[in-house]
Amino acid sequence: MENTITIQNNYNTLDKLYNFLNTKTQFECAKTYDTWDVRTGANGQMEECIVLKKSSMHAVKLYFSEENKVKVNHIIPNKVMHAYFGKSVKSHRNILELITGQIKEVALKGSQQKAFDELSNEVRKASA
């Protein structure tokens, strides 16, 4: 699940958006390195993102894709849970991995979508 939200100029940096979300939402908010996609900047260092967390299974990660445009992606913030329930990025998977992956996706889709929508609405409070 992914979404792009245009935000106000008041919140056009990661720090400003973090401060806004940290004070205006009831969810846990943290600024951390993007270990889910391992995005790197021009200087080769890992990029930062904001994680807005509802539970150990549901969160969104936010980062600026363009000026005043925030990319919102659903993630599983707990590293152990992410390893088990997250999307597999292996190029070759056996049949058992394919089947269990589909079962996990179907079983979690409803709750993940609901949490994603709820957390995205919190980010929209900073939108233009």
Read off the pLDDT of residues 77-126 as tens digits, 9 standing for 90 and up: 766 565 555 555 555 567 766 676 666 666 667 788 888 888 888 989 88
- pLDDT (0 to 100) of residue 34: 86
Crossing angle (nearest 10°) for helices 95-124 and 14-24 = 80
Taking the CA atoms of 57, 58, 59 and 65 in sequence, report the sign of the dihedral they define.
positive
Phi, psi values for residue 5, rounded to 5°: -125, 130
Q: For 53-90, write each residue's pLDDT tens digit.
A: 998 888 999 999 888 899 999 888 766 565 555 555 55
